[in-house]
Amino acid sequence: MFDFNKFIDLLNESVPNNYDEAINNVKDYFHIGRIEIASENFSGSIKCSIDSDCNETPLTFYKHHDCLVTFYSKKDGYNYSADELKDVNMLLKLIAIYNENFALAIKTREAENLSYNTKLYNVHGYIAKLQSLKDSIDGTMYNSYYINLKGFGLVNKLYGTTLANEAIVEFAKTLKNFAEEDEVVGHLGGDNFVAFIKRERNEDFINTISRLKVYVGNKRRKIELTLISVIGYDEVKDIVVNYSTIISNPSIACQYARNTKRNLVKLTPDLLEMVDSIKNIESTFDKELEDGNFLVYYQPKFDIETGKIIGVEALTRWNNNGRILPPGMFVPILEKNGEIVKLDLYVLETLCKDIHNYRNMGNNIVPASCNLSRRDFELEDLEDRVIEIIKKYNVRTEDIVIEVTETTNFEENERLARFIDKMHRNGILTSVDDFGTGYSSLSVLRDFKVSEIKIDRSFINREILNDSDKIIIGSIIDMAKKLAIEVVCEGVETKHQADFLVNLGCKKAQGFLYSKPVPKLEFEAMLKEIGTYHDIS
Ligand code: C2E
Ligand code: MG
Ligand code: MG
């Protein structure tokens, strides 16, 4: 009996280099009268046959990969002519080449469907795998997840891309090990992952990936990292309807989690509706601003040692039909369409008005800051507009601080330098927000006349503050001090973090340990209750 698998094995053994050898290997099978190959999948179709005097009923069919090979037996006593023998050889060569191409195509196709470094499914592979599962599972018993690793940009920055990639691979391994046969996990690139997991295993899944300790580096320098997942998920309604929502729905929830600084959010109809209404901000923004729906909240800055209030930052909230939304939900949209400058000047004006009124009531005040976006610097006369507003409300220049963020490229840097310089010449203080996350942190210290830096919260807001953190944060504080620049640390949430900072010589902090951003009246009450640095004699 013709053993097709053996036949293919023999061919494969000699492929790819030597087809003659391949034919030699299979010559025992030359009693076959006719071979037909038909394949639809690759480079159109190949179909070829040799006709010798053979029995008309196929001897046997073989489905090999996607290729149907049909063999017809030779009539007894028939011998191939020399030409026919050539044809047989030719056909066997074709099968051999086809076989090799197929193996290659499979490899390429696999590579196309897999993420390069983690070997999890990429977006195409993920969708294709779900498609292949749809008939064998009940999709409504599953949840779809979108996972982003919190603060992973900083891991990249602190440890370099090689170690960061190792951490990503470790995370991927955990996902892969967790997934059962009928579940799918994927890596969309960067620190973004997706998963399709049975709902009954939801809790187990979340517990597995919420906080994952991984070890990277080599024997000489093993580093322990805790990867924190920001997870958005959705209960799958019907996987057949739309495969893409299997990624986009949980991704909306994940984005919302990031914007509102949570680690786990489930998609609800309410959330979907809200996301829709936020998208409309492009058309409703002017009216919302005019109607006073953008509110200014205040988050105090504290002196860690005395516990007194030494400053405050104005942070915007959007009252969207009674839902108070954080800036993460709308600032990026306004930055994209360039409307952000209107909001920023509005916040500055509101802040100046508030300072003016509060001082007029005979109160001590603390320096108050507001944020400018990178895009604001596209406005040529931004400096004049800022100065004009401050003057309009008779605000003393020492009572106001303009927070700017580091730039991402050289041109932006030039523009920022001009702005800071003009503020400086007019006695207005500037502060560099989210310090340490931009591209030119050190040159900012050296070249710009800023009065303060705010160390980004990702530096301090960590599970364990180790020796590396001590060195990095300590050096920033030392450098700034030597350059007579004030240092505030953002995102201080625990007493331990505050003590850690004091030990490194940083006395100013802002963070949930002390207060969240609160409405104006609440802040005024806090000023009275806690007191300001003016109260220290
Ligand atoms: P930012 O200027 O760095 O403001 C600090 C952010 O950190 C605030 O978030 C604050 O609520 C949050 N935060 C403070 N302490 C802690 C803490 O202990 N832990 C954690 N996890 N977070 C803390 P918020 O109010 O959501 O603002 C986010 C960002 O949105 C701001 O970051 C700022 O870049 C931007 N933003 C806010 N208001 C405005 C504005 O009027 N204009 C512009 N252009 N951007 C704004
Ligand atoms: Mg700020
Ligand atoms: Mg900041």
Would you say residue 15 has pLDDT above 80?
no
Contacts of 169 (CB under 8 A, 6+ apart): 117, 118
324 versus 462: the higher-pLDDT residue is 324
- How far apart CA 374 and CA 425 sit, in angstroms, is 21
pLDDT at 313: 98
463 pLDDT exceeds 90? no
The C-alpha atoms of residue 520 and residue 363 are separated, in whole angstroms, by 14
Q: What's the average model confidence in pLDDT over 210-219?
A: 91
Task: Compute, in angstroms, the gap from residue 434 CA to the centroid of ligand 3.
Answer: 4
Of 156-160, 497-501, 529-533, highest mean pLDDT: 497-501
**Residue spans per domain, the chain:** 4-112, 123-267, 277-535
d(C-alpha 359, C-alpha 78), whole Å: 112
pLDDT of residue 49: 44
Q: How far is the centre of ligand 3, averaged over its atoms, from the C-alpha of 489 (Å)?
A: 9
Q: Give me the DSSP letters along 132-164.
A: HHTTTS-GGGEEEEEEEETTHHHHHHHHHHHHH
**Residue 252 clears pLDDT 80, i.e. is over it:** yes
Percentage of the chain beyond pLDDT 90 is: 55
What's the CA gap between 113 and 107, in Å, rounded?
10
**Which ligand neighbours the alpha carbon of 435 most closely?**
3
Which range among 187-196, 240-249, 265-274, 314-323 shows the weakest confidence by mean pLDDT?
Answer: 240-249
The model's confidence at residue 411, banded by pLDDT at 50, 70 and 90, is confident
pLDDT of residue 275: 83
234 Cα–ligand 2 center, Å: 33
Which ligand 1 atom is nearest residue 340's CA? Answer: 44
Alpha carbon of 456 to ligand 2 centroid (Å)? 10
pLDDT at 486 over 70: yes
Q: What is the CATH number of domain 277-535?
A: 3.20.20.450
Encode pLDDT of 269-296 as tens digits: 988 888 887 878 888 999 999 999 999 9
Query: Atom 23 (ligand 1): residue with closest C-alpha?
Result: 491
User: Which listed ligand is nearest to 369 at the C-alpha?
Assistant: 2
Beta carbons of 252 and 271 less than 8 angstroms apart: yes
Q: What is the pLDDT of residue 157?
A: 81
Q: Do domains 123-267 and 277-535 have the same CATH topology?
A: no
Q: What is the mean pLDDT of residues 11-32?
A: 49
Lowest mean pLDDT of 161-165, 185-189, 253-257, 279-283, name the range.
Answer: 279-283
Q: Which ligand is nearest to the CA of 330?
A: 1
pTM: 0.69
Fold of 123-267: Alpha-Beta Plaits (3.30.70)
Out of 192-206, 262-276, 334-348, which region has the weakest mean confidence (pLDDT)? 262-276
| Pocket test residue of 339, 341, 371, 488 for ligand 1, highest count of atoms within 8 A of CB | 371
Separation of alpha carbons 318 and 35, rounded Å: 73
Residue 234 scores a pLDDT above 80: yes
Ligand 1 residue neighbourhood (C-beta within 6 Å) = 261, 299, 315-316, 326-328, 331, 340, 343-344, 347, 371-373, 403, 433-434, 457, 490-493, 510-512, 517
The sign of the dihedral angle between the CA atoms of 173, 179, 181, 187 is negative
| Phi, psi of 33, rounded to the nearest 5 degrees | -85, -40
51 CA → ligand 3 middle, Å: 78
Question: For the chain, how far is it from start to end, CA to CA, in angstroms?
Answer: 104
Q: How many angstroms separate the alpha carbon of residue 490 from the centre of ligand 2? A: 9
Structure confidence by residue, pLDDT tens digits, 261-270: 899 999 999 8
Q: What angle do CA 524, 525, 526 make, to 5 degrees?
A: 90
For ligand 1, mutation pick of 295, 315, 453 (most atoms within 8 Å of CB): 315
| 316 CA: nearest ligand 1 atom | 38
Q: Would you state the pLDDT for residue 503?
A: 94
List the structure tokens of 463: 């599970």
